[in-house]
């Protein structure tokens, strides 16, 4: 079993309104996996916010995971807000899902926003992030 990293008891970065330990902390750094595509997307956002690179890689589908992962460590990025815009499938009984979201960050003191439609697939009972789709304008 993986060793769970300690994070201060605080609200979860994914903005669920729950404490980190009762939300994304149940998955990051543990052997438990989110039961839905939305929960995986939220936990991946929290992992980016907390710079939990191992979790991001472990939840990325092996066919599309990059060899190198830049977490903007040198750019002084702070993830500040997550807003889920739309969910298509991705429930516990589904095999695929799409979650569209907007994430806000501060990069070198400048506010930036990104919108993404993330594709997820369930394989061997676990959800994986596959890739980002182009967001229709």
Q: Map out the domains of the chain with their CATH numbers.
A: 20-133 (3.10.450.50)
CA distance linking residue 18 with residue 24, whole number of Å: 9
The predicted model scores a pTM of: 0.89
Q: Which residue has the higher pLDDT, 4 or 21?
A: 21
pLDDT of residue 74: 54
Share of the chain above pLDDT 90, in %: 76
Average pLDDT of the chain? Answer: 90
CA distance linking residue 47 with residue 62, whole number of Å: 18
CA distance linking residue 53 with residue 60, whole number of Å: 11
Nearest CA to 116 out of 86, 72, 94, 75 is that of 86
Q: Which residue has the higher pLDDT, 49 or 69?
A: 49
pLDDT of residue 12: 97
Q: What does the pLDDT average to over 116-122?
A: 97
Q: In whole angstroms, how far apart are CA 40 and each of 16, 106, 107, 122, 124?
A: 13, 23, 24, 11, 15
pLDDT band at 108 (very low <50, low <70, confident <90, very high): confident
CA distance linking residue 23 with residue 40, whole number of Å: 11
Q: What does the pLDDT average to over 39-68?
A: 95
Please determine, for residue 122, whether its predicted confidence score (pLDDT) is greater than 80: yes
Residue 79, C-beta contacts closer than 8 angstroms, at least 6 positions apart: 13, 45, 48, 49, 103, 104, 105
pLDDT band at 1 (very low <50, low <70, confident <90, very high): very low
CA distance linking residue 134 with residue 10, whole number of Å: 33
């Amino acid at each position: 079993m993986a060793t769970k990293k300690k994070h201060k008891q605080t609200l979860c970065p994914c903005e669920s309104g729950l404490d980190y330990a009762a939300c994304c902390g149940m998955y990051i750094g543990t052997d438990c996996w989110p039961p839905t595509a939305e929960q995986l997307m939220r936990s991946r956002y929290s992992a980016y916010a907390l710079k939990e690179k191992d979790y991001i890689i472990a939840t990325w589908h092996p066919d599309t995971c990059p060899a190198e992962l830049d977490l903007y460590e040198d750019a002084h990025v702070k993830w500040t807000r997550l807003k889920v815009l739309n969910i298509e499938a991705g429930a516990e009984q589904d095999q695929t899902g799409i979650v569209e979201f907007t994430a806000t960050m501060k990069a070198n003191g400048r506010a930036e926003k990104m919108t993404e439609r993330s594709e997820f697939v369930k394989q061997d009972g676990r959800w994986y992030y596959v890739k980002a789709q182009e967001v229709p304008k």
